[in-house]
Each structure stands twice: as structure tokens, then as C-alpha cells.
Amino acid sequence: MDKKFYITKEGLERLKKEYETLKALRLSKVEGESPKIFHSEDINIEYLAFKEDMELLESRLLELDYILKNYILITKPPKEKQDIVDIGATVTLEDEDGLINEFMLVGSLEANPSEGKISIESPVGRALLGKRVGDEVAITSPISVKYRIKKIKYEIS
Amino acid sequence: MTNVNSNLEFLVEVQKLKEIPRTGLVWLGVPNPPSVADHTFRVAVSSWVLGKKMGLKIEKMIKTALSHDLCEVYGGDKTPFWGLLPDDEKKRKERLKRWIRLPLEEKKKRSEEEFEEEKKIFMKLLELANSELKKEIFSYWVDYKKNLTKEGKIFLQIDKMEGMLEALENLDQKDYDYVTPWWEEAEELITDSFLTLFYKVIQNKFYSPKAKIEEKIFGFGLKKELEKILDFILEIGKLKRMPRLYWVLRGVKNPETVAGHMFTLALMAWVFGREKRNLNQEKLLKMAICHEMSAVYTGDTTPYDRILPKDEDERRKILKKMIRLSKKEKEWIFLADYQTEKKAMEKLTQNLDSTIRKEILELWHEYRTRSSLEAKFLGELNILAVLLQGLIYEKKYKEFISAPLWEWAFESCTDEVCLSLMEEMKKKFYG
């Protein structure tokens, strides 16, 4: 069975744009020209590596092609389920010292913990899934850290 | 060779990473902590060994490792706690017992701010490199910072693991509370099941070595294999604290470590190996980070240490000159060293998976016997890596003389790129 990729609408747009750009790059490489996109000053820096390396470019294109055929768009759950933590939720937590911590739960493709976006496949993500406001969550390896869920929001389209 | 010229400036600046200590360990009061360069070396080795098990692109992993902390040349080793710690030492240490808790908006803002600031500093450093190299290094860094590709994502997880290992290795068990933030961060970050298991092995080793991990979650033989990889990574870590004997014998304070030297050579292999299109770049990088691994058991050696007399004046005289040996003596030393180092390499890799073990041993053998084009080129670059470090020390310490290193380089280098690099070094350091 094919692996499925959870992705937000915003993330999907970004991947589609990357896919189109890399396809244009491949075509121009085959034709021996530098594509227009690389003449621009504000070129998206993430594509630079692919400019250097054809093998890297091909494997990224394959990866993107696979993702774009196997994605599941993250959408808001129905109103009656919005008090439960699911993918796409922004969860506000309070630790034992009263400090507030917040995460947005996304798929691994879009996870970036330094921005607060954590994957549902991470230990914290897994511990939060299915919980409701008031529930306690313990993250336990190797020292237990306890949180109480203060708020659950869905700020996705 | 304009590329060699501009890239030398870049390389010289990057050497500063050998003198920048890991901030997290400084805060925790660890004496003489490893440098950013030391850290980079081991995270490159870990990325190779673990990346191979995970089927990742190893050249990309090693290049990401070499790029990931370069901006610290000008920015210092900035930790994720920036701006959040109190000045008071006691309060700061207390705060370091837990990971960062912040609202989402603030996390995003800090992340963007950090990226922009680091990018600015990084560009200042990369201005010293030629444009092709600049683009390449920058794109690996962006991949890591922005979690773009599989390699970028996994590298970030391995980098954080390396930080945690540094803390566990350098702290007493009674102070393991300070390692909690690394665990908390890992729990937000790790998505790969292989690395999740590897973290379990780390936990088992440092916190409860007697407790049994359920074998079922690992699958057949995997737990043992991961334990062996961890042991290997920990053994390699000894090189981060092993000063290079050549500098020690000449009285250099806080000299470069064996790990720091391998970091430089790997970077040189990348920077100057680009000029050698006929060479296998991945092989060059791997060879650079394994060429002196045997020092884990043999300690660092130089041709001088076995002939030095006890008399101080005599010693000083000998150390100022290039060592003179007959052909027979050279052959004897080579064979003796080769055999000792081979045994050390076999011991170091004995428990690794047979594929990676074979690869490391073959690369080391090739380098030691200069039996491939890559090994020949790297052998010459190695001399220039030592010369470069010597020139930096000569500038810093009046009494240090790099003449024997020049002699060594003149005697040994024949490659066109290496000869141009020597010329550029002469111009840069002597005008």
C-alpha cells in the first residue's frame, strides 16, 4: 500500500510550485539553458542544490511526484470533533510550573519544531492525538514531563 | 587558480570553529568543552553510519554536517535558548533543566528572526568563497534549517542527538537533569522509527543499563546492532578531546584536536576536491573523516615522538627542523605504524555491520597506502591542512615556526591544485 502524506493547503501549494519549478529546471538542463527562474534575484534558495546536481534533481522530482499522488489534505474536523486533538490542531498546553507551550500538529512533511510545528508521528504528537481540553499528557522518556491541555483550536482552512 | 585563492580565505576563517566551545556545555560548567569543529566531525561520522543504515545519500549527509554550523564562525555557538536565559548563573542553570515552552506565534517569530540573522552572518562568511561553492554550501544549510528534504530532516535529528550525547558524556549522572531539554526537544522532533529506537538505546545505556528494553519493538538483531553503533560513536567521541601531538610537543596552548583536524580535512576535500572532477567526491569526504580514526586506540602520533631526546635544548632543536630519516627508517616506521593502526581500526569497527565496517577499513587502507587517486590527493591535502594550522599558530605565537611543515609540503606535494594552494598560502601569510 502507498504511504499517505498529510499536508496543509498552504504546504500543498508550496510543493506544487516546487514541482513545477524543478520540472522547468530539468527541461532547461536537457536543453542546455539556464531557466528564467534562475535569472531572478529573489530566486528560491532551496532550489539551488538541484541546480548543481542532476541526480539530486531527479530524485527530488520522483519524491514530489509520489507525494503529489499520495497526499491527504488536512482539513478542519466537523464542529462536534473540534474539541479533540487531531492533525491540524493548534494545542495550548500548561506545564506543572504554569508555563504555556503551544504546538501545531502537522504531517512529517511540514514538521518544523523550531516553528512549533510538530509531526503527529513524533512522540509528543502521538501523545497529544485524541486528547481533549483538561486532559493530562505525560511525556515520559527518560524523565516524565507533564502537561495539561488548555485549549484546542483549528486555524486551518 | 582563482577558485583556490578565494576559497583559501574562506577556509582560514572557518578554522575559528576549532576555538569556539559548545555553548550549552560552557553554561553547564563543563571544563574545556569540545569545539564546534569537534562536534561537526562526529556529527558527520554519525550521519554517515546512521544514514547508511537508513538508505540516505551519504555525500549529502556529510556535506550538510560540514555546512550546518559554519555561520557560527561569526555568530558564535548560539543555542535555541537565546534571549531566554537569566543573567544570574544560578537561575540560568535552573532554567536549563527544561526545554523551551512558548506560544506558537513566538516560536514562529523566533525561528524566522534566527534564520534571517544567521543567513546574514552566513552570507558574510560565504562572500569569501567562490560563487559556485557559496551556492552549494548555502543550499545544504538551507535544507537543514528549513527541513526541506529527507536528508535535511534526518540530519537535524542526528545533530540534536549528537548534542545530547555530548551532554551525557560530559556530565555526571547526578546532573542528568540538565539533559532533560535534549530529551524534550527530541520528543518533538523525531519522526523516524529507526532513530526513535536509537534514542531508546541511548536511554538504556546512560540511564538504566540494567533495565531490559523490550526486544520485540526492535526486530531481530536490531537492538544489538544499534548498541554497537552507539558504542562506535562514543569511542569516536574520544577524538574530540585528543589534542594533536605535533602542536603539544611545540607548546601550543589548547591546540587543535584530532577531530578538529579531520573536520578541516573533510572541508578541504569538499572545497578543493571540487576542482578535481575525476575524483569521487563522496569517497574523498568519507576518507577524510576516517583517516585518523585509529587514534582512538593508538593516541595521536608524529614521526618525532619516537626519536626525541630528554634534554630540553636538544628537543627544541629537533622540533624546529623537518625530521630527517633514511629510506630504510621511513619504511620501518611506515610498517610499524600501519600495523598498529590497522589493529586499532579493526578493533574500533569490529562490532559494526559488515558492510560499513568493510567500507571504513578499505577507505582507511587506501588512504594509508595511497593506493587510489582519491587517497593520493587527500594525502597531499592532509599535509596542507597541517601546514595551514601551523601558519595560523605561527601568526598567533611568536615562538612557533612552520618551516618544517613547509619543507614537508615541498617534499610531498605534486598535485596541481595542492601546489596552487601552497602558493596562495605563501601569499596570504607572508605577503
- What CATH topology corresponds to B1-241? Hypothetical protein af1432 (1.10.3210)
Q: B111 contacts in A (CB within 8 Å)?
A: 112, 114-116
**ipTM of the prediction:** 0.80
Q: Does one domain contain both A62 and A104?
A: no
Least confident of A34-38, A55-59, B284-288, B310-314: A34-38
Asked whether residue A150 falls in the same domain as residue A91, the answer is yes
Same domain, A111 and A93: yes
- Is the domain of A53 the same as that of A93? no
Q: Which of B101, B103, B180 sits opposite A143 (nearest CB)?
A: B180
Chain A stretch 15-44, residues whose beta carbon is closer than 8 A to a beta carbon of chain B: none
In this structure, how many other beta carbons lie within 10 angstroms of the beta carbon of residue B204?
Answer: 19
Show Cβ contacts of residue B230 under 8 Å, excluding neighbours closer than 6 positions. B198, B201, B202, B205
Cβ distance A118 to B200 less than 8 Å, yes or no, reads: no
- Which residue of A141, A147, A154 is the best one to mutate when testing the B interface, meaning the one whose CB has the most B CBs within 10 A? A141
Provide the residue-wise pLDDT of chain B in tens; the chain has 431 residues: 456 767 999 999 999 999 999 999 999 999 999 999 999 999 999 999 999 999 999 999 999 999 999 999 998 888 899 999 998 989 998 999 999 999 999 999 999 999 999 999 999 999 999 888 888 899 899 889 888 788 999 999 999 999 999 999 999 999 999 999 999 999 999 988 899 999 999 999 999 766 666 666 677 688 889 999 999 999 999 999 999 999 999 999 999 999 999 999 999 999 999 989 899 999 999 999 999 999 999 999 887 777 778 888 888 888 887 777 788 888 888 899 999 999 999 999 999 999 999 999 999 999 999 999 999 999 999 999 999 999 999 999 988 999 999 999 998 999 999 999 999 999 999 98
Question: Is B191 close to A119, i.e. CB distance below 8 A?
Answer: yes
Size of interface A-B (CB pairs under 8 A): 108
Q: Which domain holds residue A83?
A: 79-154
CB < 8 Å from B in window 33-92 of A: 45-49, 51-52, 56, 59-60, 63, 90, 92
In a shared domain, residues A36 and A97: no
Q: Which residues of B touch A56 (CB under 8 A)?
A: 57, 60
Q: Does B203 touch chain A (CB under 8 A)?
A: yes
CA dist B90 and B34 (Å) reads 23
> Where do the domains of chain B lie?
1-241, 242-431
**Of the candidates A47, A52, A101, which has its C-beta nearest B102's C-beta?**
A101
For residue A42, what pLDDT band results from cuts at 50, 70 and 90? very low
Mark whether A69 and A122 lie in a shared domain.
Answer: no
Q: What is the DSSP letter of B21?
A: B
d(CA B96, CA B379): 44
The CA distance from A79 to the nearest CA of chain B, in Å, is: 23
Pair A65, A106 in one domain: no
Query: CB distance B60–A56 less than 8 Å?
Result: yes
Judged by CB atoms closer than 8 Å, whether chains meet at A45 and B153 is answered as no
Asked if the model's pLDDT at residue A36 lies above 60, the reply is no
What is the nearest CA distance from B411 to chain A, expressed in angstroms? 36
Tell me whether the CATH fold assigned to B1-241 matches the one assigned to B242-431.
yes
Same domain assignment for residues A67 and A87: no
Domain end, chosen from A26, A50, A73, is at A73
Note the pLDDT of residue A40: 46
Q: How far apart are CA A125 and CA A105, in angstroms?
A: 7
| A11 and A29 together in one domain | yes
pLDDT tens readout for residues A91-139 = 999 998 899 999 999 998 899 898 999 999 999 999 999 999 999 998 8
Q: C-alpha grid cell for residue B53?
A: 543504515
Higher model confidence: residue B116 or residue A57? Answer: B116
Q: In CATH, what number is assigned to the domain containing residue A146?
A: 3.10.50.30
Last residue of a domain, one of A73, A88, A118: A73
User: Does the CB of B84 have a partner CB in chain A at under 8 Å?
Assistant: no
Per-residue exposure over B60-77, b if at least 16 CB sit within 10 Å of its own CB, e if not = bbbbbbbbbbbbbbebeb
Number of folded domains that form chain A: 2
Whether A64 and A85 map to the same domain: the answer is no
Q: Per the CATH hierarchy, to which homologous superfamily does domain B242-431 belong?
A: Hypothetical protein af1432 (1.10.3210.10)
The domain boundary residue, chosen from A41, A73, A105 = A73
Long-range pairs for A44-49: beta carbons < 8 A, 24 or more residues apart: A44/A18, A45/B138, A45/B139, A45/B142, A46/A18, A46/B139, A46/B142, A46/B143, A46/B146, A46/B148, A47/A18, A47/A21, A47/A22, A47/B139, A48/B135, A48/B136, A48/B138, A48/B139, A48/B142, A49/B136, A49/B139, A49/B140, A49/B143
Residue B382: partners with Cβ closer than 8 Å, 6 or more residues away: B265, B291
Please report the pLDDT score of residue B304 as a whole number: 78
